[in-house]
Structure 1
Amino acid sequence: MTGDVRTTCPYCGVGCGVIISPGPDDAVTVTGDPDHPANFGRLCSKGAALGETLVHDGRLMVPKMAGRRVSWAKAVKTLGDKLTRTIAKHGPDSVAFYVSGQLLNEDYYVANKLMKGFIGSANIDTNSRLCMASSVAGHIRAFGADTVPGCYEDFDTADLVLLIGSNTAWCHPVLFQRLREAQRRRGTKVVVIDPRRTDTCATADLHIALKPGTDTALFNGLLTYLEKNGKRDAAFVAAHTRDVDEALARARKNAPDIAAVAGICDVDKESVARLYAWFAEHERVVCAYSQGVNQSHRGTDKVNAIINCHLLTGRIGREGMGPFSLTGQPNAMGGREVGGLANTLAAHMGFDDGARDRVGRFWNAPALAAKPGLKAVDLFDAVHDGRIKALWIMGTNPAVSLPDATKVRAALEKCPFVAVSDCIEQTDTTRYADLLLPAATWGERDGTVTNSERRISRQRPFVAPAGTARPDWKIICDVAAAMGFGDAFAYAASAEIFAEHAHLSAFENDGVRDFDIGALRGAVDRAHYDRMEPTQWPAGAKTPRGRKRLFADGRFYTDDGRAHFVAVSLSPPDLIDTTMSFPLLLNTGRVRDQWHTMSRTGLSPRLGRHTAEPYLDIHPEDAENYGLRNGSWTRAMSPSGGVTVRVRFSSAMRRGEVFVPIHWNDAVASDAVVGRLIAPRRDPFSGQPASKTQPVTLLPWKPAWRGFFISRRRRDPRDVEYWCRIRVPGCYVYEVADQVCPTDWASFCASYFTGMSGETITFEDPKKGRYRSALIEDGRLQGCFAAAVDGALPSFDWLAEVFAEETVNEKTRKHILAGRRPGDAADRGPVVCSCFGVALNTLLGAIRGQGLTSVRDVGRVLKAGTNCGVCQSEIAALLDGVRGEEDVSKGKVNAA
């Protein structure tokens, strides 16, 4: 690498541009691209830490079969032959691909082309099915195509923004900062509609903590209110829509007035009335929604209930207004464009006769799929019951992320042949693979991605692939050639694939299809491809530079050219009923600094310091009913399975509801795969699983002892019932606990130090059941273990810092077993600001010692919160807490 490289962040659907600058010793500096229109230089904590993930720790470097290294030639031939023989014996529907929003457009395109065009089956689906499929289905029902009408600029100019089922502050932090700037600059009102009081609520003007599953009632009630109060755009509705009367009749039936809606949603009437009045009063309204809407067994109806309100008022396609789907993955949108979903063909075309003929001729496909394939959950059901006999998984971890994860694992175990392309060697899914194929990863790949606002951006390589890893598109094309389809997959570079994808989008289009990037097909030229700037589609003959918004002209992509209102109702499956056996509702989601199953973010030492352990949030009053203490453990159970996690009291939770994050898996924790809890209920239109409303129960899990182990080397402490691992600078930290005490602590601890050498120092208090040990070699701390029956453990935060020191001096050495920093200095505590590594106690010390009273003051003194801003709400909460302490202190003084 000889100069700066402009590329795109590989995390969420915001699609931020980043600049990679070379540094000493092959290190790189990652900064936000000030010229990229998605972020204008901003980065979140995850994006800012990307440089720390460019390590080869855990990478899959070479092809492996049955655990042994094989050549690429043998690996490709094995997979090609296996697919060919399986198809010949059992038909094309006996094989399947399961792909990922982590793939680039070019990878996705050739995978879809191979499966649907040449194998002749549509059994290719993507993990985006778990993320945005209901949005796709809702768009198609209303608009005739999977079209996001607006753009990020609408957040800058809206007067009112509704964030529905979206913890935007944590999941799309750069977009959230953009919205906060609009609040400061022009007074934009923000309403958060979410059962939990998340960090996103910190700056909200109104929070509607509705009962899970009742979004449809809330927006049907809004539709009724808008009509009753004369807010229908009569000219727009008459000229450009249909079926409004049916939608209104259904809405009136189940959400006739504010009182009825408040009762169904279990919120106060005043909040509902304020929301409805604000929506009616403000012309420029954006409804941004995410997983809380989509991940439902009635998610498509929820999407259409939201869209209906925009259609009735004509608030679509113009500046500062419209429904807006916030995609979760970096290329969830791109996967939809190329046909990565089982129910689409390619380039936003479906399986109607005209589209099949068109795509078949364009691809010169000998056996084009005639019908949609199996969607994700159904696909793995087919693996489980033996209909699918050969499965190729690319860049995703379904053994963790799919619902009913125990059944998914059983399916993978039973499948006659499983191939996995991945950059990581050991995941919960790769352990079931007969064949492992090393794929290139971010920083090594060359291609494009599409963000939530329809903007196509380049991902450019800046480091060589690790080991013998290859781009996914290259692996797929080599396998296609091994199956006898080489002529159709003879691409020399990703630029050629993109050019073909662009050409197909424009082929026989003439403006009748929404997805058209024909103006970019000249990118077959390598220089043109390298220079490609971020572009929003459609970018066809009439709009070669792209188009920000669609539908302002009232022209839609339905058969009649009109937008369709969709009549939706609150049917029984929407009203989630718990039972005596499973009386609580489980919600799932992300934490601030981690991504998916942590295969990339888990490599960053700074990101592990914010949330170190899998947990369950519960209202304190509910916890009391289940005999749970704050910081204790619980076994959360559903009919599908269970997890063992820490308990966190949270008044942000509604009574009767709990929350568990999705990230932890068997590679980083003993028993925290939330997919084991989730039943495979799914939306009848989109096939998207419901991950937000799972009935569960809780049991106390009481260990006989607990402790931690810190090591420079990665370990797998599977000899304890409970463990979890994080990576921090210089070492790995393991939290451990068990229901049985070792009979000999020294022998137990020695097993953790296996393979390590040095001087061992030890402290033991048998009466109190406490044991501590450390291993020092050549003046450096190599390992440290602490256990306690009574739970009295030192903080591991300072001990972890000692591992970053080159030499442990005598003063520090004396304090290692005590776990206390020398002198009176307090431990830093957990990190709050990941961007600048500012920890909890540092913040509290500055707030109290320097009299800081605002988030801006804290940023000025410590820089915390001045980069991505995602920690600002936590800093604000600390400021409030200190103010509360001062108020109590003053009250005591006054009382005296």
Structure 2
Amino acid sequence: MTNVVRSTCPYCGVGCGVEVRQTESRGFEISGDKQHPANFGRLCVKGAALGETLGLEGRLLYPEINGERLEWEAALDETAHRLQAIIDEFGPKAVAFYASGQLLTEDYYAANKLMKGFIGAGNIDTNSRLCMSSAVVGYKRAFGADFVPCSYEDLEQTDLVILVGSNAAWAHPVLYQRLMQAKQQRPQMKVVVIDPRRTATCDIADLHLALRPGSDAALFVGLLNHLQPSLAETTFDGQTAALDIAADWTLEKCADFCQLESADVQTLWQWFAQANRAMTLYTMGINQSSSGSDKCNAIINVHLASGKIGREGCGPFSLTGQPNAMGGREVGGLANQLACHMNFEPADIARVGRFWGSERIAETPGLMAVELFEAIGRGEVKAVWIMGTNPLVSLPDSSHVAQALAKCPLVIVSEVVSDTDTSRFATVKFPALAWGEKNGTVTNSERRISRQRAFLPAPGEARADWWMVAQIAQRLGYREAFHWQHPHQIFSEHAALSGYENNGIRAFDISGLANLSRAQYDALEPVRWPVTEQGHSPFKSWHPNGKFQLLPVEPALPQASADHTYPLILNSGRIRDQWHTMTRTGNVPRLMQHMKMPLLEIHPRDAKRYGVTNSGLVRVASRSGGMVAKAWVSENQLPGNVFVPMHWNQQFARKGQINSLVKSVCDPHSGQPESKQTAVRIQRWQPGWCGEIFAREDIVFAQEIQWWKQASPGVTHFLCAADTHASAWIEALAAGRGWQLQTACGDGQFYHVLAWQNGVLQLAFYSAHVWPEIATAAVVNAFEQAPETAADRHRLLAGKAPGAQADAGATVCSCFGVGEKMILAAIAGGCQSVAQLGEKLRCGTNCGSCIPELKALLK
């Protein structure tokens, strides 16, 4: 590789630029790209840890069919034969693709072209359906196009920022740091956070509205009513109907509906009306709703009505969750789009058919994510190709998704990781390229196209997703249309299609990039679309009559409601240091230190009602399923509501999968599931013991033991708990291995074990009635270098660090591994501010995500 490779982070939709440098030890150092306009050198802890995700442990490296390794030619021939047989017998609609916002645009384009253009059915959808499809509907209904009318620079120029349904401090950390810096430089700028939970994002809020879950639309419909006197003339389509509904939503009605103080609602409305420039940033808390599309339009309505749109520092800004969710929208990766922002309309169908040279273009939308897997379960879809995603974890009602895949005759999975919840159901496994090996483009939340560049060779027989699609397409008889040899050719074709017979009638147009040479493509700098030979077009309405549209919105509560049997409402979402289903981040030790297992955040009043104690275990159940989590008692949570992270799966927990609880309730317009509200009940679980186990080899747990996998260097490590005695299970593990056991126990209160073989540590186990405090780093180090003295062995048996080494405590700053005990000691030693803590310990000086927790400790 060259000295420095510039690429793009593969995590959230902020789209940060990164620089990759190879170290003397042949490792890779990742830093922020100071020239990239999305982040100017900033990185969150996940991005900074990318170099720790590049190993090959657990990688899928060779094609497999029915668990048997095959050469590529044989695997492709057999897969194409099976697909063709299904199409011949049951028709093209019996086949479906399920793609991912992790794919590059070139991969997405190839998959969409094959499915909609040549197989001839609309059945390609994507996990992006689960995070931003309601935002797409909102923009298209208002503007006539899926056009995000904002940029990150607007944050530095606005007077008011409203974050609604967004914990940006954890989900989009770099963008949040940019907002925080903007507020420091312009203290007069107001920040409002609308969220049932008090999250880390509230740290910079001038006003936090902890509203009734799912009631957000009322605030914006009421705001439209508040703005009504300034709308003297009919300017927008739908204006009369929208204002008629809004007229009923008075201050008192909105406050009552949202369960807020009238004065706080009035403050929000007055700040918005008085601000010259205002932005609303929204994400999953708005989109993941049975009325998510209407909520998006309620937000867009007030920006249109007030004129706070289409100019600097203004606009409704949907923050996408994935690195290339926007790129998927561009190529037509959603089942209800055709390609390049074209729709299933006769003129668009004919236009795409002419460009692709196909007479088999799909003429109707395909199945959206939830209904797609329901159709698989009914036997209507008999072949599904799942690309770079893990729907068994991310889709709601995951037990039904498992049942559907178990019955499907042909499940093709192209994946980086060998063993995922989804790949366990695969008939065919194709080894895909990972970040660092891929080559192509992604588009971030502000419509900025950036390059992901390869700096690693393809391991084993891993191949690009676009290559797999092209090879299958050629075997299905479409060789000429899929003869690409390099992603540059695919990008050029995609760019040319975006401008084909466009003439300004479609917002998405990057035809100015269609004639890039391969060298120019390789060197492409980040650029926001549209990009045409005529230059950038202004923000406008793309409706045929040239008018923007106000949508009449009647606020609606979530379909989930608490009752006597399920009295609590469960909210789910991201945490700071993990990503999606943990297939990448879950294997990085430092990213597992901040939150080691699923936590159930619960208000003290509810904790008392159900007998739950902080750090105690809780069983959570809904009508669909159940899980086990560790309680986190916090006044940041509203009474009657609980929160659990979305990330854990069957590789990292026996029973930690949140979407096993969530019902398949979707927005009727966008098909996006209502993942934010589920009625649940909880029950305190006081196991006979809970503890930690470390071992040199894989561990087979007894069925009755709950476990949570921990990433630790060079050792297998789990948290675990059970009702049965631990001693019999540990002794069974040691039986027949010739281990010598060193044990310690105290009146049944604790049970510790070290297992030795020829002086080498094989296993360490620590359990008690409550979670034991373990010096984890010292235990892990003991597997590499066993303690030499009897005293240090006894300290290890007690779970303590040898000698005078201090325990850092629970990790707060993952960037620099700074623990809570270290921070408290520094505060006791005189540090009185975040800045002083940063000078002494470095915490809070990199990505800044830990700053809210540092402030809480200072208090």
Same fold (TM over 0.5): yes
Q: Distance in 2 between matches of 1:725 and 1:452?
A: 33
Residue of structure 2 equivalent to 1:538: 530
Residue of structure 1 equivalent to 2:551: 566
Q: Please report how far the alpha carbon of residue 728 of structure 1 lies from its aligned counterpart in structure 2 after TM superposition.
A: 2.8
1:860 to 1:515, Cα distance in 2 relative to 1, 3 A: same
Are 2:609 and 1:618 aligned? no
Q: Please report how far the alpha carbon of residue 744 of structure 1 lies from its aligned counterpart in structure 2 after TM superposition.
A: 2.8
In 2, are the aligned partners of 1:404 and 1:676 still within 8 Å (CA)? yes
In 1, are the aligned partners of 2:779 and 2:796 still within 8 Å (CA)? no
TM-score, structure 2 normalization: 0.97
In 2, are the aligned partners of 1:419 and 1:434 still within 8 Å (CA)? yes
Residue of structure 1 equivalent to 2:715: 731
Q: Distance in 1 between matches of 2:528 and 2:409?
A: 43
In 2, are the aligned partners of 1:733 and 1:800 still within 8 Å (CA)? no
What's the C-alpha RMSD, in Å, of the aligned pairs? 1.7
Residue of structure 1 equivalent to 2:54: 54
Q: How does 1:644-659 map to 2 (within 5 A)?
A: 644-659=628-643
Structure 1 spans left out of the alignment, 5+ residues = 881-896
Are 2:287 and 1:294 aligned? yes
Q: Please report how far the alpha carbon of residue 321 of structure 1 lies from its aligned counterpart in structure 2 after TM superposition.
A: 0.5
In 2, are the aligned partners of 1:797 and 1:829 still within 8 Å (CA)? no
Deviates more, 1:95-104 or 1:70-79: 70-79
Q: Please report how far the alpha carbon of residue 245 of structure 1 lies from its aligned counterpart in structure 2 after TM superposition.
A: 1.7
Q: Distance in 1 between matches of 2:629 and 2:823?
A: 28
Q: Distance in 2 between matches of 1:764 and 1:743?
A: 11
Give the share of equivalent positions with the same residue, in percent.
47
Residue 580 of structure 1, aligned match among 564, 568, 581: 564
In 2, are the aligned partners of 1:171 and 1:592 still within 8 Å (CA)? yes
Residue of structure 2 equivalent to 1:592: 576
Q: Distance in 2 between matches of 1:729 and 1:666?
A: 21
Letter in 2 for 1:423: V
Q: SS in structure 2 opposite 1:135?
A: helix
Deviations 1:441-463 (A, max 9, x none): 10000000000000000000000
Letter in 2 for 1:560: N
Letter in 1 for 2:418: E
Q: Distance in 2 between matches of 1:434 and 1:852?
A: 58
Residue of structure 1 equivalent to 2:101: 101
Residue 762 of structure 1, aligned match among 736, 742, 745: 742
Residue of structure 2 equivalent to 1:408: 401
Q: SS in structure 2 opposite 1:146?
A: coil
In 2, are the aligned partners of 1:98 and 1:125 still within 8 Å (CA)? yes
Letter in 2 for 1:217: A
Are 2:218 and 1:217 aligned? yes
Q: Distance in 1 between matches of 2:812 and 2:92?
A: 52
Residue 337 of structure 2, aligned match among 326, 340, 344: 344
Deviates more, 1:661-670 or 1:634-643: 634-643
Residue of structure 1 equivalent to 2:37: 37
Q: Please report how far the alpha carbon of residue 639 of structure 1 lies from its aligned counterpart in structure 2 after TM superposition.
A: 1.0
Q: SS in structure 1 opposite 2:103?
A: coil
Are 2:785 and 1:785 aligned? no
Are 2:684 and 1:705 aligned? no
Residue 322 of structure 1, aligned match among 315, 318, 326: 315
Deviates more, 1:432-441 or 1:795-804: 795-804
1:574 to 1:360, Cα distance in 2 relative to 1, 3 A: same
Q: SS in structure 2 opposite 1:137?
A: helix
Q: Please report how far the alpha carbon of residue 804 of structure 1 lies from its aligned counterpart in structure 2 after TM superposition.
A: 7.6
Q: Distance in 1 between matches of 2:121 and 2:246?
A: 40
Q: Please report how far the alpha carbon of residue 603 of structure 1 lies from its aligned counterpart in structure 2 after TM superposition.
A: 1.9
Deviations 1:450-498 (A, max 9, x none): 0000000000000012211001000110111111111110001000000
Residue of structure 1 equivalent to 2:665: 681
Q: SS in structure 1 opposite 2:25?
A: helix
1:779 to 1:44, Cα distance in 2 relative to 1, 3 A: farther
1:837 to 1:712, Cα distance in 2 relative to 1, 3 A: farther
In 1, are the aligned partners of 2:221 and 2:555 still within 8 Å (CA)? no
Letter in 1 for 2:816: F
Q: Distance in 2 between matches of 1:316 and 1:794?
A: 53
Q: Distance in 2 between matches of 1:14 and 1:676?
A: 29
Q: Distance in 1 between matches of 2:624 and 2:63?
A: 34
Deviations 1:708-756 (A, max 9, x none): 10134454535443100111344342111112225635514527xx87x
Q: Distance in 2 between matches of 1:311 and 1:536?
A: 23
Are 2:769 and 1:819 aligned? no
Q: Please report how far the alpha carbon of residue 139 of structure 1 lies from its aligned counterpart in structure 2 after TM superposition.
A: 0.6
In 2, are the aligned partners of 1:712 and 1:803 still within 8 Å (CA)? no
In 1, are the aligned partners of 2:691 and 2:771 still within 8 Å (CA)? no
Deviates more, 1:95-104 or 1:696-705: 696-705
Q: Please report how far the alpha carbon of residue 676 of structure 1 lies from its aligned counterpart in structure 2 after TM superposition.
A: 0.5
1:718 to 1:51, Cα distance in 2 relative to 1, 3 A: farther
In 2, are the aligned partners of 1:729 and 1:800 still within 8 Å (CA)? no
Q: Please report how far the alpha carbon of residue 646 of structure 1 lies from its aligned counterpart in structure 2 after TM superposition.
A: 1.4
In 1, are the aligned partners of 2:64 and 2:70 still within 8 Å (CA)? yes
Letter in 1 for 2:334: L
Q: Please report how far the alpha carbon of residue 4 of structure 1 lies from its aligned counterpart in structure 2 after TM superposition.
A: 0.7
Deviates more, 1:818-827 or 1:828-837: 818-827
Deviates more, 1:759-768 or 1:380-389: 759-768
Deviates more, 1:733-742 or 1:83-92: 733-742
Q: Please report how far the alpha carbon of residue 107 of structure 1 lies from its aligned counterpart in structure 2 after TM superposition.
A: 0.2
Q: SS in structure 2 opposite 1:564?
A: coil
Residue of structure 2 equivalent to 1:9: 9
Q: Distance in 2 between matches of 1:875 and 1:800?
A: 27
Q: Distance in 2 between matches of 1:823 and 1:294?
A: 53
Deviations 1:475-523 (A, max 9, x none): 1101111111111100010000000000000001111100000011123
Residue 505 of structure 2, aligned match among 502, 506, 512: 512
Are 2:391 and 1:369 aligned? no
Q: Please report how far the alpha carbon of residue 764 of structure 1 lies from its aligned counterpart in structure 2 after TM superposition.
A: 3.1
Q: Distance in 1 between matches of 2:838 and 2:438?
A: 36
Letter in 2 for 1:203: I
1:804 to 1:502, Cα distance in 2 relative to 1, 3 A: farther
Q: Please report how far the alpha carbon of residue 844 of structure 1 lies from its aligned counterpart in structure 2 after TM superposition.
A: 1.0
Residue of structure 2 equivalent to 1:634: 618
1:472 to 1:327, Cα distance in 2 relative to 1, 3 A: same
Q: How does 1:358-507 map to 2 (within 5 A)?
A: 358-507=351-500
Q: SS in structure 2 opposite 1:178?
A: helix
Q: Distance in 2 between matches of 1:216 and 1:198?
A: 20
Q: How does 1:44-193 map to 2 (within 5 A)?
A: 44-187=44-187, 188-193=189-194
Letter in 2 for 1:357: A
In 2, are the aligned partners of 1:330 and 1:450 still within 8 Å (CA)? yes
In 2, are the aligned partners of 1:338 and 1:346 still within 8 Å (CA)? yes
Aligned residues: 857
TM-score, structure 1 normalization: 0.93
1:558 to 1:800, Cα distance in 2 relative to 1, 3 A: farther
Q: Distance in 1 between matches of 2:533 and 2:146?
A: 21
1:841 to 1:729, Cα distance in 2 relative to 1, 3 A: farther
Q: Distance in 2 between matches of 1:3 and 1:766?
A: 58
In 1, are the aligned partners of 2:94 and 2:380 still within 8 Å (CA)? yes
Residue of structure 2 equivalent to 1:894: none
Residue of structure 2 equivalent to 1:310: 303
Q: SS in structure 1 opposite 2:192?
A: strand
Residue of structure 1 equivalent to 2:247: 252
Residue of structure 1 equivalent to 2:520: 528
Q: Please report how far the alpha carbon of residue 843 of structure 1 lies from its aligned counterpart in structure 2 after TM superposition.
A: 1.0
Structure 2 spans left out of the alignment, 5+ residues = none
Q: Please report how far the alpha carbon of residue 25 of structure 1 lies from its aligned counterpart in structure 2 after TM superposition.
A: 3.0
In 1, are the aligned partners of 2:617 and 2:686 still within 8 Å (CA)? yes
Q: Please report how far the alpha carbon of residue 769 of structure 1 lies from its aligned counterpart in structure 2 after TM superposition.
A: 5.0
Q: Distance in 1 between matches of 2:21 and 2:697?
A: 30
Letter in 1 for 2:731: S
1:792 to 1:694, Cα distance in 2 relative to 1, 3 A: closer
1:561 to 1:702, Cα distance in 2 relative to 1, 3 A: same
Q: SS in structure 1 opposite 2:281?
A: strand
Deviates more, 1:622-631 or 1:145-154: 622-631
Q: Distance in 1 between matches of 2:430 and 2:95?
A: 18
Q: Please report how far the alpha carbon of residue 637 of structure 1 lies from its aligned counterpart in structure 2 after TM superposition.
A: 1.0
